[in-house]
Chain A
């Protein structure tokens, strides 16, 4: 069935089709429609779930974790300040191996107050041990929720599904809503290897001495390293059943490209238009949209970028005192490789400033006219 829905509702439909059993959430602009629709679904019985209307995001994640440890499939959604308030519990989720799936609407951090898109909220949670998917369409948002449960529950690692404020969260697109019976075939009920039950009492998360702690973290990393292959595997399985492939990255005309944009989120869609324009001008451009950011898809990125002489990484974020975060990550992935492209870093679109075809034109003009990296942050559209 096809429906015209907003990005936020794509998250709600994804949670519904995945048969989330416990939802705990706190409203924040621009996430509110996610939980409003889920509230309605729970109220009218479309979704058989317990919805805990908590008093903060911190409690939202805490409640999800309790439910997850009790053996229930859990869902929540938040944004920016809400995500930052959850920070402690994000570590708890990954450290405790509780496979919560969460939507995060990328919104700039205050102050000054901003409700508009940038990625500093989710990227600040880069090192919490969560899998992170960045989406570029409402269809992808819905599909990713279902895929994320499959990946997360297999490895017992939580997943964050990230979408840009307004450019995706509030934009209406045609979305294919898959049949429930097919989704049920793809995603079996959550059956964790351990749970809180008086039938088999265990203590979870207790005091862990230096004799044991490091091994727990080693295991988390080892399981994280399994994610890229599992994303490929579950993505191909998804394609077989639903006709849409969900991979680690989305390549657009990368095969013969001599110049590649590296993008994420909705900017990745705009980049495709920019690539078409460049191709019309005779420049063999391509776009590599990173969908799986954590764990970082090293192999994919290396195999594609080592073929091209020039790369322009677009960041809608900044690590103050360093560079754009995707730029750091791409450079780190290419370091020590036998064939290294020139990698330029661009920062644009902070606090919801539009990233347009013109932004990419400017980026391309800059990168194509230089033979070495002169500055590590090239600001696009900033009033200096």
Chain B
């Protein structure tokens, strides 16, 4: 017998996503789906609007998921999911989870109205946004989730994005829904745990997943996990939970935060930024981090 200690994981070995999907190398969004379904299980119906995942899943007649998928219109992830859930319930199925799975374009921008409507009604759906911080499926155009300073094809270097990233967590928290969480592909145990937890809660649940995109961020595919981890370790993307819109919990406390420059320098989309601009971003991250700590009563 080997004396080696076996690494244990709480994540199921069962897979609900097959190889052969159409994601790019190093795609954070594909990993995110694999982990989300490990948390939710097979009794899940997924509504996917226009986004990278509309392609990743595979063209008709193929699908890379072992769960049913409704490919819905761009702005209807939430409203489609609400409808599916109502249909299941009236037919006596209260057990199947309905997951709306949208990118940041479908969530922060074109789908925000439907998402707000579903959240206000507290419809019994899980809404997950895999945030890769731009319209990646159409070829890297800015969204309201694109951070300050980033290059995209519609915010060229000479006129890089001057506006801050929209605070979608703040918006969702203001709806007072039962459960909100952030998750990162670099922290799979945390992510799967959050999807498992969300499944047991009734009402609207919102999970924001940080999903690096090598093609859009001009980063190396092998750096995806590193970038996702750095986003957490710098305090740029804190791992949190919000229950009933009020009770904030910081899931990963940091004794020391890494400088944001470490995160930015691995991405070509920030290559043009000056020292001053990086300092300004650091300041913004610091301010947001302080606010997060305050909300988490730390």
Contact = CB atoms under 8 A, between A and B. Distances in A.
B120 to A, nearest CB: 7
Name the residue in A50, A53, A59, A74 with the highest tally of chain B Cβ atoms < 10 Å from its Cβ: A59
B84 A196 contact: yes
Interface stretch (A138-146, A202-210, A264-272, A331-339): A202-210
B156 interface: no
A22 B121 contact: no
Contacts of B84: 66-67, 69-70, 196
Interface string B55-67: 1011111110111
Contacts of B73: 62, 88-89, 92
B86 A198 contact: no
A50 to B, nearest CB: 4
A134 B82 CA distance: 31
Contacts of B120: 55
Contact of A206 (B67, B69, B83): B69
Interface in B56-115: 57-63, 65-73, 75-76, 78-91, 96, 113-114
A207 B21 CA distance: 13
Contacts of A204: 68-71
Nearest to B47: A66
Contact of B88 (A52, A53, A70, A74): A70
Interface stretch (B38-46, B138-146, B268-276): B38-46
A21 interface: yes
Contacts of B66: 201
A58 interface: yes
Given A196-B70, A198-B68, A205-B72, A66 B44 contact: no
B68 A50 contact: no
A274 to B, nearest CB: 45
Given A52-B86, A54-B79, A55-B114, A69 B67 contact: no
Contacts, number: 167
Interface in A48-99: 48-50, 52-56, 58-60, 62-72, 74, 88-89, 92
Given A56-B113, A62-B73, A198 B88 contact: no
Contacts of B61: 212
A31 B160 CA distance: 47
Contacts of A200: 68
B21 to A, nearest CB: 12
Interface of A: 21-22, 24, 48-50, 52-56, 58-60, 62-72, 74, 88-89, 92, 196-198, 200-209, 212
Interface of B: 42-45, 47, 54-55, 57-63, 65-73, 75-76, 78-91, 96, 113-114, 116-117, 120-121, 123
19 contacts: A22-B86, A24-B86, A54-B117, A62-B76, A65-B83, A66-B82, A70-B84, A74-B87, A197-B68, A198-B68, A202-B63, A203-B60, A203-B65, A205-B70, A206-B54, A206-B58, A206-B63, A207-B54, A207-B60
